[in-house]
Structure 1
Amino acid sequence: MSRIAARTIDFGVIRTEFGLGEDYPEAAVQEARSASDSCSEEREDRTDLALVTIDPPTSMDLDQAVHIARTDTGFVVSYAIADVGAMVVPGSALDQESRRRGQTFYLPDGSLPLHPRELSEGSASLLPDLVRAAALWTIELDKNGETVRFDVRRATVRSVARFDYEGVQAAADAGTLHPSIEALPDVGRLRSAIAAARGAIELKLPDQEVVEDDTDGSWRLVLHPHTKADDWNAEISLLTGMCAASLMIETKVGLLRTLPPAESDALASIRRTAAALGIEWQADRPIGALLAELDPNAPTTLVLMTEATTLLRGAGYAAFDGELPELTVHSGIGAPYAHVTAPLRRLSDRFSTEVCLAASAGTEIPAWARTALADLADVMRASDSQANKVDRACIDLTEAVLLAHRVGQRFAAVVVREADGKRDAEIFVEDPPVLAKCTGEPPEGTSVQVELATADVRTRVVSFAYRS
């Protein structure tokens, strides 16, 4: 495994480039420290639910806690979401600062949180063994995993255990899952099958990640281990977001996450790629169902899923009040969908949750939430764009530093996209895990040897060359 000394990478330059800073106005910090539950009298006591959290091992901003019960007719999913709307005073310094930030930004050497840590990692976080304010979703599913009914209401909850994805996967493999999530694999598989049937597109591409070695402080560029537990947990979040969208559409007030249908040219291109790779694809089979069946470790799957990323471009937000937007569906999910499950890390979720709480209870939507929706669409679009650029910049910088002393060396690679006259080929190098441009004309879907041509730390550019 390739490593680099921590002192050789300064992620501060990326913070400076993108204008990111953790310093909050003092008034906002004081409000975060003194934040209290403004809706305490409305809450149902659900501390009887043995909720658990599933997050990365170092996370302290715990937005969600889950409990799944089996019933005679199917399952009941209880999903508690940190009730940030009850902790942040509308119009306050804390509210204004969070609107300016948009979301939490994650860099390898630390996060820049949406809210001061006193709130996001303290009084609002669903940390274990503490009573917390939550928006509690209760979703009944039948034995096939289809939604029967749901509601969301304010409650007090308490998480009884904290898990991470790898730990949940290991426990599932060993048959020792905590009773609160013993049914998670079954529900996850059922929901995944439903998603494939409705045309959802799930891309299981390897995620590059920069991590610090606890033993010597060095940095490593690794592929994030993608587990089935990641998928199961994601299905619970998607289920909740779809329920939220349903409430918003029924009420005709909300903020949807949308994605237009794929262009016919993009689908035709992917079909040509599949044919060239020898992947059988029936004419009437949805692309999502095809991808779900492929071996995620096969080079041909990596190629096809990389090509399929073109189908997920153009995601946006649609705010509406009184009249539904022209586009209400997220085509990558295959259904209407809204963000509500990460209010500690994403600004829009606080407001969307408030809309859903009122819609579920049949009460009036608070004016502070309703009037903010139109502006939130623009804020989240800009914030998402910046977060993606920050993520990419951190990866690019790490790749360049890691490879700077290896220019001229040869590497084994898989060609995930061939040159087309407008752009160079794209390759995936396994060690160190790098996705980069490559000159020459390496054949798509093949394993080749390439030479490292550029690794410029200043410009964060890495490129390879192929010579047949």
Structure 2
Amino acid sequence: MRLRPPRLIADDARVRAGLDRLRRELEVPDAFPAEAEAAADRAAATPPSALPPFASAPPRVDRTDVELVTVDPEGSTDLDQALSVTARDGGFRVSYAIADLAQFVAPDGPLDAEVHRRGVTHYAPDGRRPLHPDPIGTAAASLLPDGARPAVLWTIDLDPTGIPTATAVERAIVRSRRQLSYEQAQQLIEAGDGSPALSALRAVGEARLALERERGGISLTHPQQEVVAADGGYELRYAAPLPVEDWNAQISLLCGIEAARIMLAGGSGLLRTLPAPEPAALERLRRSAAALGVDWPSGRSYPEFVRALDPATAVGGALLTQCARTLRGAGYTAFDGTPPADPGHAAIAAPYAHVTAPIRRLCDRVANEALLAHAAGRPVPGWVGAALAPASEAMAAAGRRAGALERGAIDLVEALLLADRVGERFTGVVVDVDDRGALVQLRDPAIQGRTTGDGLTLGSEIQVTVREADPERRVVRFAA
């Protein structure tokens, strides 16, 4: 009988102290300036039907009759989206409400300046540093099921294969009926007795996934390493997404693709772009596949190869880790007058825009203002055109900081979990090999570390000894 190794849990106080140090190093914003807080309080008290003079669309329409629900991680309070996906006239109708932050953030005001400084909500295992003060982000703007909210409402009709046949986007008043976690939504859909708003989410999600495959899009489904609270401390685990998360993501991608189409036709906007993988990166991946005995026929495309990998196997997991590293260089491309020469997003295989998470991302608020103006046939307000490039620059800086915070938090907990285990041996799998040595993924706990030595081949299972685990430097090293 093989017994499961004991759980390794990092002490809560040491994790919090380490995360505080990491946030200081990265200069993650903490408290809001007093003038930004005051502006948020004033905006939060504004009735949801009121439209500020700087908005780029006609007055709101009442869509509280549309039955919407939210689907988010358990415990979320900053709810950007509410949806309804139903069968209609031989096809489907998608209603997707997005929190309308232009209702609350005046351009060039003190809150706008602070939002540009932050760029995004920064998440860590012990909490978040929000993009907007809580009176807005978790109350007045959040699509909670406790009353009417201002929203940017998408209504997209699809044919039976998931292709849009009609798209409308407008400012509206909406009301969410219910707040669901991913787990609750999955259970309701599988039981077949969920909210009518979810009745066709599976069908549309799977249809859109099929279209993604047809156009050459790439969805990397390897489990994600994450830090979770456990028994007064924190532990590491790998979590694979539920199917409903993929279906839900396809609705967001659908709106992002439609938003990019509208902005490109209108001549101004803010796109999320990603170049195609470099030939050298693909050649390295081909060599890795060959070394692992994985067939990659010359006629099989890169997206087809990725979809054929099994993340549950050591070989598939190692190759998917490398696949993720071929998709580098994502950024934001602002344009006003002349569309970019290459507006595409390689992983989505289409032009794409971030417009569905404005509570947590600055760029979505600005992009939505350009989008709404184009959809209404109105000129884009001057402040929107002037804000596109600064928003792009702020997002680039915030993305680097948020990525460093996420990776640093994992590195910290990895080092804390093994700080008292130096000299012990663990079983691991080589998931990457480069000029710095090998990256080894332990079987249990879910920790990665580097090692050097001869005969370290991609995908091989090896025994390693913990050589170093330094929480101060957030470093873990193994000896093969």
Give the TM-score category using the shorter length. over 0.9
Written as runs of structure 1 = structure 2, the 5 A alignment for 1:168-179 is 168-179=185-196
Mapped contact 2:223–2:311 kept (Cα < 8 A)? no
Q: For residue 80 of structure 1, report the CA deviation from its aligned partner.
A: 0.3
Aligned to 1:295: 310
1:20 paired to 2:28 = yes
**Unaligned stretches of 5+ residues in structure 2:** 1-6, 53-57
Q: For residue 62 of structure 1, report the CA deviation from its aligned partner.
A: 0.3
Query: Secondary structure of 2:222's partner?
Result: coil
Deviations 1:146-203 (A, max 9, x none): 1222121000001111111122223333333322112111111111111122111211
Query: Secondary structure of 2:197's partner?
Result: helix
Aligned to 2:403: 388
Aligned to 2:4: none
Mapped contact 1:197–1:289 kept (Cα < 8 A)? no
CA distance in 1, matches of 2:311, 2:438: 21
CA distance in 2, matches of 1:157, 1:359: 22
Aligned to 1:5: 11
Aligned to 2:473: 459
Mapped contact 1:137–1:240 kept (Cα < 8 A)? yes
Aligned with residue 63 of structure 2, among 21, 28, 46: 46
1:108 paired to 2:120 = no
Query: Secondary structure of 1:42's partner?
Result: coil
Q: For residue 23 of structure 1, report the CA deviation from its aligned partner.
A: 1.2
CA distance in 1, matches of 2:296, 2:146: 50
CA distance in 2, matches of 1:232, 1:190: 9
Q: For residue 224 of structure 1, report the CA deviation from its aligned partner.
A: 2.6
Deviations 1:428-464 (A, max 9, x none): 1131101221222422112221111110111110011
Q: For residue 293 of structure 1, report the CA deviation from its aligned partner.
A: 3.3
CA distance in 1, matches of 2:389, 2:124: 29
1:240 paired to 2:252 = no
CA distance in 2, matches of 1:261, 1:118: 41
Aligned to 2:349: 334
Deviations 1:350-392 (A, max 9, x none): 0100111111110121222121101111111111011000111
Kindly provide the amino acid, as one letter, of the partner of residue 395 in structure 1.
I
1:77 paired to 2:97 = no
Identity of aligned residues (%): 44
For this pair of structures, how many residues does the alignment match? 462
Q: For residue 219 of structure 1, report the CA deviation from its aligned partner.
A: 1.4
CA distance in 1, matches of 2:304, 2:68: 32
Written as runs of structure 1 = structure 2, the 5 A alignment for 1:70-149 is 70-149=87-166
Aligned with residue 410 of structure 1, among 412, 425, 430: 425
1:30 paired to 2:3 = no
Task: Tell me how large the CA RMSD over aligned residues is.
Answer: 1.5
Q: For residue 4 of structure 1, report the CA deviation from its aligned partner.
A: 2.1
Q: For residue 424 of structure 1, report the CA deviation from its aligned partner.
A: 1.1
Query: Secondary structure of 2:174's partner?
Result: strand
CA distance in 2, matches of 1:439, 1:172: 48
Deviates more, 1:428-437 or 1:35-44: 35-44
Deviates more, 1:219-228 or 1:24-33: 219-228
Deviates more, 1:190-199 or 1:36-45: 36-45
Aligned with residue 427 of structure 1, among 422, 430, 440: 440
Q: For residue 22 of structure 1, report the CA deviation from its aligned partner.
A: 2.4
Aligned with residue 218 of structure 2, among 201, 213, 226: 201
CA distance in 2, matches of 1:378, 1:174: 46
CA distance in 1, matches of 2:460, 2:202: 35
Normalized against structure 2, the TM-score is what? 0.93
1:304 paired to 2:319 = yes
CA distance in 2, matches of 1:161, 1:334: 33
CA distance in 2, matches of 1:124, 1:146: 31
Q: For residue 321 of structure 1, report the CA deviation from its aligned partner.
A: 0.6
Q: For residue 131 of structure 1, report the CA deviation from its aligned partner.
A: 0.4
Aligned to 1:58: 75
Aligned to 1:448: 462
Mapped contact 1:412–1:430 kept (Cα < 8 A)? yes
1:439 paired to 2:447 = no
Q: For residue 399 of structure 1, report the CA deviation from its aligned partner.
A: 0.6
Deviations 1:9-57 (A, max 9, x none): 2121112111223211111111111212442881111111110111111
Query: Secondary structure of 2:389's partner?
Result: helix
**Unaligned stretches of 5+ residues in structure 1:** none
Aligned with residue 400 of structure 1, among 415, 429, 434: 415
Q: For residue 250 of structure 1, report the CA deviation from its aligned partner.
A: 0.3
CA distance in 2, matches of 1:97, 1:380: 13
CA distance in 2, matches of 1:309, 1:117: 34
CA distance in 2, matches of 1:277, 1:198: 28
Q: For residue 72 of structure 1, report the CA deviation from its aligned partner.
A: 2.3
Q: For residue 278 of structure 1, report the CA deviation from its aligned partner.
A: 2.8
Q: For residue 61 of structure 1, report the CA deviation from its aligned partner.
A: 0.5
Kindly provide the amino acid, as one letter, of the partner of residue 52 in structure 1.
V
Mapped contact 2:28–2:401 kept (Cα < 8 A)? no
Mapped contact 1:2–1:431 kept (Cα < 8 A)? no
Q: For residue 241 of structure 1, report the CA deviation from its aligned partner.
A: 0.5
CA distance in 1, matches of 2:430, 2:152: 46
Query: Secondary structure of 1:127's partner?
Result: coil
CA distance in 2, matches of 1:270, 1:19: 36
Query: Secondary structure of 1:395's partner?
Result: helix
CA distance in 1, matches of 2:442, 2:384: 47
Deviates more, 1:183-192 or 1:29-38: 29-38
Kindly provide the amino acid, as one letter, of the partner of residue 392 in structure 2.
A
Query: Secondary structure of 2:236's partner?
Result: strand
Aligned with residue 283 of structure 2, among 251, 254, 268: 268
Query: Secondary structure of 1:406's partner?
Result: coil
Query: Secondary structure of 1:262's partner?
Result: coil
Call closer, same or farther: CA 1:401–1:30 in 2, change over 3 Å.
same
1:162 paired to 2:190 = no
Deviates more, 1:92-101 or 1:19-28: 19-28
CA distance in 1, matches of 2:25, 2:320: 31
Query: Secondary structure of 1:304's partner?
Result: helix
